[in-house]
Every structure is written in C-alpha cells, then in structure tokens.
Amino acid sequence: MPLLRKKRNPGQPAWFDLEAPAEKQVPNGWRFSLKGSPRHYDDVKKIIEDDPGARLYFSEALTYERGAGVALWRIEATSFAWLKPLYAWWAEMERVEPIRFTFFLYLPNDPKHAELDLRLHTPDEVERFVRENAPRSEAEAQKAARRF
C-alpha cells in the first residue's frame, strides 16, 4: 500500500474520497437549469461557482437533446450576481469568436421545454422570472418529506 494513499473502508469504491470538501450550501434557493454550448462549459461553470449565493447541484459538459449536443448546468441560487458577469463574458465570446450561441432556461417541472432564451432577456428580467416562477429548494424538500 502506498505511503501517501488515504485509507478507506474495504467495501468503499476507490473513487470515493474520504475527505471531499463539503458541498456549498444554498439554503432555500431557487432551482432551475441552463442549457447551452458544450464548448463553453468550463467558463460558465466557473462564473456560476464564483458567486457564493449560487451552486451547481448537477452539471454535465456534454449531453444530447433531440440529437444536438448541449451542456447542462442545474443551479440552486439565492443570489443572481453571477448573471451580469455571464452576460459580459457572453458578449466578449461573441466578439472574439465568429459563432453566435445562446442559453436556454428550464424549470424543474418542465425539463423538455425552455422557459426563456437568455438572448432575448436582460439579466434583471431573467432574475425576476426565476424569482417568480422557479421552485425553492426548501419547499421541494418539505414536499418530499411529506410523501414518506
């Protein structure tokens, strides 16, 4: 056994890290998803994660939707400070690259139909829409607890 390797339980998978950092908590955040270009997955992920009031509870660099490759970011947020940097980064990417792209916003209750095309809305309009329409994580947890 290597000297620098961490001990793990015999039945525990090798990929399981005993000292993984605690996941960032966003109490009672609004839950929604963004889908966009897989090419920009890492940049968008970093922009969202830089806001302490937002967290990615799931993301995928490449998934397929109706035959097209898309990136998926599932977000829980109480802060929308990351939206303006996202729009600024987006404008810069379209300035330096010859390809236009967009982001679509989805709500958890209808994951097949986009609610908004972010290209057609300002960051303030997107934030207002999410606050008015997206479910809250605490409310979802309470609903699930009532089922059992």
Q: Which domains does the chain have, with CATH numbers?
A: 30-147 (3.30.70)
Written as six digits, the tokens of 51 are 């806001």
pLDDT of 22 strictly over 60: no
pLDDT of 64 reads 87
Question: By CB neighbour count within 10 A (0-12 exposed, 13-18 middle, 19+ buried), where does 2 fall?
Answer: exposed
Note the pLDDT tens digit of each residue in 61-78: 998 888 889 999 999 999
Note the pLDDT tens digit of each residue in 100-142: 999 999 999 998 899 999 999 999 999 999 999 999 987 665 6
pLDDT band at 23 (very low <50, low <70, confident <90, very high): low
Written as six digits, the tokens of 122 are 């300002």
Which helix H or strand E contains 73, and what residues bound it? strand 68-77
pLDDT of 21 reads 46
Percent of the chain with pLDDT strictly greater than 90: 66
pLDDT of 139 reads 61
pLDDT of 38 strictly over 90: yes
